[in-house]
Structure 1
């Protein structure tokens, strides 16, 4: 089988060879077969990319708001024309089923862009305070962007677009597991007219390319999405040069189901949501907290919903789930399923091993544990797979206590028929986003969390603000 090469990096407006070739095969997680060969970068490649971004910064930083609006509109047009290419690539390189790839994974490239466009049109880059001083919001400089494999285009656009809107230049290091969509996005940006050097891309490993970016004296800001462990490494590396660091990290999001809601619908929906993207979402509702009065009924609904969850070939359309992204991720999920069994949780659905009929590919069994206590590993650690932990609670205050008893604080979900309760509980949950009764935040709203889930916010005005410095000017 002939495997296409994608060994070059995008630096200074052109595809260039790496300083030293170091091949890595990109695997299709459904077949375990290589679909491309990329090159892994080195600190020398980072130096070259940062130099290009530094040289481009003075000119791009002086562009007008209208020029940047027109640039984003151009990107939107090119991306929309090529959106099916993105969907196909993400199905191949990360195993997202075709329907999810097209309707969600690729579609966010349009939705987030629209949110940034509206924010850019209204952004107060210059304002006068009541005391007479003038406030300027200016681009921070060269930015290092590190993105993950689970929602690859989602995280790329949540970093690249606000940096462009703010007037920054950048170097992107995408996940080495899913680099092909990032390389396609580089083509889109180039075709849309992003000036040479404003956007640069270097593939590679976090401890090599990511660390070189984080330590680089000419990089003013690091924006990282990934594991909490990876985020702390970026923060440590950036500390020596006192960079701004924005982190979007892990989650262990609670889904609070009260007896005064449609329990059957809420539980079935919660199971499907947890399993979406094969559970590989940082904001997935992976802890289902159910009021004791309806807990037994909820278990029956969850068992039926879990058993009904289909697993299938990601190349096919449908509402099935695909494989996990890699052997490493499969092993991690298996380890935590085993821990749930060993710690005494009730295995309601699924368990260890692969689903029947799936000997090839990193497929895991959709798994639900009941009677989980919040001190178990499956309740505290981010599994990042199709694994749900169900926990009963007695009353509202216990629900809030359990929900907040986590090192993370990304998202939380509330299912209730009482609006006053929804407001009351939402105000007490230590999470950056609270979703009530199957709602989601809109394009342009801030995405991010509390505690070990990170700092900073992505999306719309709040996302652009992360890439801006504030200058106060006083004069007579």
Structure 2
């Protein structure tokens, strides 16, 4: 079992002030794979103090110097890709191939995109031709606390750490205590890349401990959090007394609207997306809204995709899905599947219990419910497992109403070959993102939502601005 009790503070690995061990469980085997320590107030204070000391010098470095540091981080990250993939597979259960290509690859993707966005970033911009001496300056916030989840570890770590470093902030990262190993590899990458001491710090801990300590710390100017809506509300309340900037990327219950004229692969594509990463994605299309004339065929197709989706351990190659992250998560999903049955939804694939032939590990059967009404718990609550709810609709207006009838507003999906309809529906959906006909958002698009999904904007230029404050300046000498 790996000993990973140390924290990365002020450019070195240090022991916790007080031991508070926690085992990291491999969800494929239910066996411990590592032991970490949960930090307490003294550890958090040390990390924040290091970041505060480093901020004046780091914030004054030239953009070119900060860019060079991040380019070095990318180079080292690529060289450690296999180590990163191993950590992610063992801490949260992403299958071996998916962990290397997609989970680890997400970090490479975001670092590259931030590098590209930063090269053209204007820190001082004219307000407009009507006010030639009025400028808007973008400046670093200060010390930022970064709290990241377990489901897409490097996706979220790079969406927070990299823009913070580029714009001149210093950072304290608290990764999920369930899946901390990949972030510790990331800290090793930061160290090897030669980042000045104190600019990046890592303290492991849980939400009520280090998470709350960062949220309430008087020397932390901003909290960026990705996770559950419940935790986001708690962080907002905790941060209120110190008037921090708070950026939240929270849950989702995405609707995938399939019109009768959708392409032949739309339903299979949507079901596959729902089950991807074992359903543990906040932007998963977990509600499939299908026009009634093609509803029966869609239900059959989705059920076939579920039945054909292999479930196996994360440590073997292949295109299967792995376990969910923990016993607590497995039990929550089982309860929701049973709730769907009790509510009267029609179970057409999967169901409660372990997949056939499996006797250990937190594996969930890919599950499809048909004849779901949008007031059912399985249609309103984020299950965070491979569970798809299918709901019929009769008109465009009804589809939009059902799609928007949710506390969440992260990602919605539209499938139709009618371009005017696509555009019209997309503008009426209340969400931060809309993806249509299986076309991914372009590199540099902002990731974020509205309503109970939070209102963060991560990635690209908006993701850089997220970690800055703007300053309005008049009387600027444009010839100086």
Cα separation, 2, equivalents of 1:345 and 1:127:
55
Task: Give the 5 Å matches for 1:214-363.
Answer: 214-263=215-264, 265-363=265-363
Indicate the residue corresponding to 1:115 in structure 2: 113
Give unpaired runs (5+ residues) of structure 1: none
Cα separation, 2, equivalents of 1:386 and 1:463:
29
Following TM superposition, by how much is the alpha carbon of 1:443 offset from its aligned partner in structure 2, in angstroms? 2.4
Cα separation, 2, equivalents of 1:215 and 1:294:
52
Match of 1:54 among 52, 59, 74: 52
Cα separation, 2, equivalents of 1:326 and 1:313:
14
Task: Give the 5 Å matches for 1:56-455.
Answer: 56-130=54-128, 131=131, 132-263=133-264, 265-455=265-455
Cα separation, 2, equivalents of 1:18 and 1:158:
27
Secondary structure of 2:471's match? strand
Secondary structure of 1:368's match? strand
Following TM superposition, by how much is the alpha carbon of 1:129 offset from its aligned partner in structure 2, in angstroms? 2.7
Cα separation, 1, equivalents of 2:367 and 2:125:
53
Cα separation, 2, equivalents of 1:380 and 1:461:
32
TM-score (norm 2): 0.97
Paired residues of 1:45 and 1:202 also in contact (CA < 8 A): yes
Deviates more, 1:98-107 or 1:376-385: 98-107
Following TM superposition, by how much is the alpha carbon of 1:373 offset from its aligned partner in structure 2, in angstroms? 0.2
Give 4+ residue runs of structure 1 displaced > 4 Å after superposition.
none
Paired residues of 1:114 and 1:443 also in contact (CA < 8 A): no
Give unpaired runs (5+ residues) of structure 2: none
Secondary structure of 1:100's match? helix
Cα separation, 1, equivalents of 2:175 and 2:260:
43
Cα separation, 2, equivalents of 1:304 and 1:134:
58
Taking only aligned residues, the RMSD between alpha carbons, in angstroms, comes to 0.9
Cα separation, 1, equivalents of 2:49 and 2:214:
12
Secondary structure of 1:73's match? helix
Following TM superposition, by how much is the alpha carbon of 1:315 offset from its aligned partner in structure 2, in angstroms? 1.0
Paired residues of 1:57 and 1:169 also in contact (CA < 8 A): yes
Following TM superposition, by how much is the alpha carbon of 1:62 offset from its aligned partner in structure 2, in angstroms? 0.2
Indicate the residue corresponding to 1:457 in structure 2: 457
Paired residues of 1:286 and 1:387 also in contact (CA < 8 A): yes
Deviates more, 1:28-37 or 1:127-136: 127-136
State the number of aligned residues: 473
